[in-house]
Structure 1
Amino acid sequence: MTPPHARPRGTGRRTSPRLATAVLCVGLFILGMDLTILNVAVPALRSDLHATLAEVQWIVDGYALALGATVLAAGNVTDRVGRRRSFLAGLLLCGAVSALGALSRTPAQLVAARCGMGLGAALLMPATLALISTLHHEAASRRRAIAAWTATGAVGGLTGPLVGGHLVEAFSWRAAFWINVPLTALTAALALVLVPRTEQHTPEAGHRSMDTGGLALSAGGFLALIWAVIESPSLGWTHPAVLTAYGLAAALLSAFVRWERRSPHPMLPLPLLRDARIGAGAACLALMSLTLFGALFILTLYLQGVLGCTPSEAGARILPLPGGLAAGALAAPALMSRLGRRPPVVLGLVLVAAAFAVQAGTTPESGYGRVVVFTGVAGIGAGMVACAATESVMGAVPPRRAALGSAINDATRQVGAALGVAVQGSVLTSTYTHDLRTRLGGRLPPGPLPLPGATAPHTAPGPLVATAREAFVSAVTTTAFTALAITLVTTLAAWFWLPSEAPDRLPETTGAPAP
C-alpha cells in the first residue's frame, strides 16, 4: 500500500501522492471538458459566425487534431524539461489562448484558438500520467490512480456538453472559452504547492535532441488526412483537391514511419510498438475514441435538431455517458486483478458494440429512452477499455520514459477522437445531404446545409421540417452502423493481439518485463 506521504526524487519536501494526483486530475478534467464543450454550441456558432457545417467540424476538431499531432513531441519535451514544468506550461497556455478564442470574430480565428488550446493540452497530458505513474510505485495503487485519471478525463470530456449548454444559454458560446481562464490559473497555483518535481535526471534526457522532422511529418500527415475527410462531403469524394490531400496524407505518414526508423532520437520509438501490450493497447484506445467521440458529436446534433432539446437540456441528457464511463473505469481495476488486462478490454468493446446496435435502430419516432440505453451501455464499456488499455500501455514502458508512454497513450486517443468527429461527421453530412436531396426532388435550399429544427411543444412539424428530421435520423443510423463495424473489428483484434496475462503475474511496477 502506498504510504500517505512520500518524498519523490528531486524535491526536498514531503508531499501527498493523493493530493498531487487530485490536482493532476483537475487539470485533466479541464482539458477533457474543453474537448467537447462546444458540441452543444453548434447552432449558436453557425448563427453568430455564419459558419458552415464543415467549418464547425474544424472548430470542434481543431483541439483534438493539434493535441493528437503534437503530443508525442510534447512527451519528449516533458522528459527533458520536467514533468511539473510541462504541466504548468500547458495549463497556462490553455488559459491564455482560451481568452483569445473568446474574442474571435471569424471561424478561422476560432479554429486557430482551438488549435492553440490543443498545443497546451499536448504539454499537459503526458505530464499528468507520467507524474501519476511516478508518484504511485505499487501496482495496486498505480492501477487505482490510473483508473481515477481515466475516469476524470472521460467525465471531463463527456460533461463538456452539459457545462457548455448552460454557458451558451446563460451567456453565449464565448463563455465556454472565458471559463478556462480562472480554472487554469487556480489549478496552476495548486500544482505549485501540491505537485512535486519527480524528474529522473539521466544523461540521455539532457542531450536528446528534438525530433523536428518527425513532428513536421506526422502533423502534416494527420492535418492532410482530416482535411480530406471533413471536406469530402462538400467538395465531393473524387474532387482533385480531396484526392490530392489523401495522397499527401499517405505520403507524409509513410515518410514519418521511415524517418522514425532512421532517427537517432525518434519522437516515436517504433520498437516500443512491437510490444503487443503497447501496440495493441494503443490501437484499442484510438479506435474506441474514434467511435465514441464521433458519436458524441452526432448525438448532440440529434438531441437539439430532432428531439428539440435546448443546449443545456442536450448536455444534461448526455450525462449517462460520463456516468457509465466513470463506473466502467472504476470497475476495471478489480476485473484486471482477477482476470488480467485482456478480458476487460474485450468485454468493454462488446458493450460499446451493443450500444451502437441500439443506436442503429433509431427511427424518427424514437424518444429519449433509446439515447439513455446507448449512452449508459457505451459509457460503461468505454470506461473499461480506457482504463485497462491505458494500464497495458503504461505497464510496458520503462519508468524513465513514462512521459513518452503517456504521450503514446494520449496521442492515440486524441488522433482517434479527431478522426471520429471527422469521419462520422462526414458520413453524417454525406448521407444527410443525399437523403434530403432525394426527398426534396433533387434540390436543396440555398446556403449552408440546413439542420432539422425544433418546433413548439405539442405542435406538429411542417412538411419541410419533418422531411429534414427523417433524412437526419437516416444519417444517424448510417453512422451508427459504421461505428458498429469499426468496434466489432477492434474487438476481434483485441482478442487475438492483446497478451493474455495471468492475473497474479501482472507486473508489480511500471516497466516490469512481460510475463
Structure 2
Amino acid sequence: MRYRRPAPRVWTAAVVCAGLFMLGMDVTILNVAVPELRQGLPASTAQVQWIVDGYALVLGGTVLSVGAFTDSWGRRRSFLSGVALCGAASWAGAEAAAPWQLIAARCFMGAGAALLMPATLAVIHHTFPEPGARARAIAAWAAVGGLGGLGGPLIGGWLVEQFSWRAAFWINVPLAAVIVAGAAFLVPESRAARRKGFDGPGAALSAGGLLALVWAVIEGPHRGWASAATLTGFGVAAVLLAAFVLRQARTPDPMLPLGLLRAPHVWVAATALTLMSFALFGALFVLTLYLQGVLGYGPLEAGVRTVPLPAALAAGAVCALPLLSSRRPGPGQPPGVRLPVSGGLVVVTLGFLVLATTDATSGYPRCLVFQLVAGFGAGLVAAAATESVMGSLPSDAAALGSAVNDSTRQLGSALGIAVQGSLLTTVFTDRAAALVPGSASPPLTDTLGPEPADVPEPLRAAVALGVREAFTDAMTVTALAAGTVTAVAAVLAARGLRPPAAPAPPVPSDGRPVSFRTTAAP
C-alpha cells in the first residue's frame, strides 16, 4: 500500500494564504464598482449598499460561531467547504439578473468566508507548532490578508474598467477552483484531540447578537445613529450578547470558554487589532473618496494609488519577525509582543497626524507618506497581535482563537468605515452648506467635481475650491479621530502586554532560599 508523503509545510501555508487573499479581496473589491452596479442592474442606492455590505454582515456575524466547531469538525474540511461555497456563490453573483440575487450571492460568499477564515489560522497553528516557525507563518498570513483586503480596490478598479462589475465575481471562480485543488493535496486534515459537544444555543445567541450589532453599525450612518431602527439593532445586539456571555459562564461545555479571553495577551491583543482595523479601513474608505473626488482619479487610477498601503503593511509584518524572535518566551509563556504592537500603533498614529495636515492643494504625495507610515505600523501590529492571540491558546482551540481574532477585526473594520464615513459626511455637509448661502447642501459624492451644479458661472471656480477645502477639512477631522483611537490602543497595549513576571525561586522545606544552602561535604 502506498502512502502519500506529507506536502512541504510552506506549500500548505501558501494554499491557506491564497484562500485568505481571496477572502480579503472580496471584502473591498466592489468599493469602486458602485457606479457600474447602479447602471448595470439597475439597482437603487439602498440595494447597492447591501450588495457591498451583505458580505461583511454575514462574515462578521457568523465567524465566531462557525469557528467554535471548526476544531472538532475538521480544519481542512471547513477550509475546503468555505472556498467551494465562495466560488459557487461568486458564479451565481456573476450571473445575477436582479439586485436581490446579487445580495443573496454576496451573503452566501460571506458565509463561505466565515467557514474558511478561522480554518486558515488553525491550519497554520497546527502545521507550525514551533514558536519561531509559527511566528513567521503568521507574519506571512497577516501580510497576505492585508494585501487582499487593501488591494481589493486596485483589482476591482482594473476589472471594472477592462470588463464590467461582473468580472469582480468571475475572478473568484477559477481562483476558488485552484485553491480547492491545492488544498485537497497539500493541506492535511487536523482536528481537536478531544471532541466536545456543540453549544447550539450559544452559537445561535452569538450569531444573532453579532449580526444585529454589525447591521446596526452598517445602517447607522444612513438611517441616523439615533433612529429607532439603529437603536433597536444595538439593543437587540446587547440583549443577545449579554445572554450569550451568561450562557457561556454557566454551561458545562461552552462554545467560547470565557477563561480564554481573560488572558491579557488574548483580549488586549484582540482589542488592539479591533482598534487598528477601525482606524485603517475607515481611512481607506475616506482616502478612496479623496483620490476620486478631490484629486479626480478614475477607479483604476485611484486603486493604483492605494497600493502603497498594503505594500507597506506586508513590509511591516515581515519586520515584526525580528522583534518577536528577540523576545521569544519560555515554554508555556505568551509571546513577547509588547514592543511591536504598541510601537506599531504609535507609528500608525504618526501616519494619521501626517494625513491630518492635508489641505486642498496637497495633492497625492501626502497621501503616499500616510500610506507608507500607517501601513508599516499596521503590519507590525497585525503580525504581532495575531501571534499573541494564537500563541496564548492551546492547539485544540486554534480555530476558536482564529475566530476571536477574525471577528474582532471584522467588527473593527465595519465600525471604522461606518463611523469615519458618518463623521466625514457630517463635517463636509456643514462646511459645504456655507459656500452658497441659501442653497441646500449637496450630496457628498456628487459635489467633489470641478464644477458644482446649480452654481452661477462666475462663482464656480471659487465654489469648486471651497468644496475641495470642505472635504479636506472633514478628512482632517476623521484622521484626528482615527489617530486618537490608535493612540489609546498604543497605551492599552503598552500597559496590558507586559511580559509575565519571572517565577519566584523555589523555597525548600527547611525554609532557607536555595542560594543560602550549603552542600554537605562527602
- Assess same fold via TM > 0.5: yes
Partner of 1:400: 396
Distance 1:485 1:306, change over 3 A: same
Change (3 A) 1:52 1:262: farther
Residue of structure 2 equivalent to 1:511: none
Q: SS at 2:362's partner residue?
A: coil
Residues 157-181 of structure 1 show CA distances to partners (whole Å, capped at 9, x for unaligned) of: 1111111110010011221111001
| 8 Å CA contact 2:62, 2:211 repeated in 1 | no
Q: Deviations over 1:102-132 (max 9, x none)?
A: 2345555434332221111111111111111
Q: State the partner residue of 1:155.
A: 147
Q: Normalising to structure 2: TM-score of the pair?
A: 0.86
Unaligned runs of 5+ in 2: 328-335, 452-458, 503-522
Larger mean Cα displacement after TM superposition, 71-80 or 308-317: 71-80
The 8 Å contact of residues 61 and 422 in structure 1, kept in 2 or not, is answered as no
Q: Which residue of 1 aligns with 2:247?
A: 259
Distance 2:82 2:493 in 1: 33
- Give the equivalent residue in structure 2 for 1:417: 413
C-alpha distance in 2 between matches for 1:55 and 1:290: 24
Residue deviations 1:337-382, cap 9 Å, x none? 2243100001100011111111112211121001101111111000
**Distance verdict in 2 for CA 1:111–1:389, change over 3 Å:** same
**Counterpart selection for 2:203 from 206, 212, 215:** 215
**Which of 277, 300, 320 in structure 2 is aligned with 1:332?**
320
Alignment counterpart, residue 189 of structure 1, candidates 178, 181, 204: 181
User: Please, which runs of 5 or more residues in structure 1 have no aligned partner?
Assistant: 1-10, 504-515
1:248 aligns with 2:236: yes
Of the three residues 383, 392, 395, the one matched with 1:387 is 383
Q: Indicate whether 1:317 and 2:316 are aligned.
A: no
Superposed CA deviations along residues 166-215 of structure 1, whole A, max 9, x for unmatched, are: 0010011221111001100111011111111233442xx2x412x33333
What's the CA shift for 1:449? 5.4
Give the 3 Å change call, closer, same or farther, for CA 443–320 of structure 1 in structure 2: same
- Say if 1:450 and 1:394 are closer, same or farther in 2 by CA, change over 3 A: closer
- Find the partner of 1:178 among 146, 170, 173: 170
- Whichever residue aligns with residue 343 of structure 1, its letter is L
Q: Residues 455-479 of structure 1, C-alpha deviation per residue, up to 9 Å, x if partnerless?
A: 59xxx97565444433322222221
Partners of 1:480 and 1:411 lie apart in 2 by: 24
Q: Aligned pairs, how many?
A: 485
Distance 1:431 1:372, change over 3 A: same
In 2, the alpha carbon distance for the partners of 1:462 and 1:227 equals 40
8 Å CA contact retained: 2:433, 2:441: no
2:287 to 290, 299, 307: 299
In the alignment, does 2:267 pair up with 1:279? yes
Q: Partner amino acid for 2:8?
A: S
Quick check: 1:479 aligned with 2:468? Answer: no
Structure 1: how far apart are the matches of 2:267 and 2:425? 32
Amino acid at match of 1:290: F
C-alpha change, 1:103 and 1:472, in structure 2 (3 Å) is farther
CA offset at residue 331 of structure 1?
Answer: 0.8
SS in 1 for 2:129: coil
Identity of matched residues, %: 56
Q: 1:135 to 1:334 in 2, by over 3 A?
A: same
The answer to whether 1:366 aligns with 2:362 is yes
Instruction: Describe the SS at the equivalent of 2:492.
Output: helix
Residues 442 and 258 from structure 1, CA distance in 2 versus in 1: closer, same or farther, beyond 3 angstroms? farther
Q: TM-score, normalised by structure 1?
A: 0.88
Counterpart contact for 2:62–2:210, Cα < 8 Å: no
Contact 2:65 2:206 in 1 (8 A): no
**Which amino acid in 1 is paired with 2:252?**
P
Which region of structure 1 is more displaced relative to structure 2, 246-255 or 356-365?
246-255
Of the three residues 81, 86, 102, the one matched with 2:78 is 86
Amino acid at match of 1:279: W
Range 57-66 or range 380-389, more displaced: 57-66
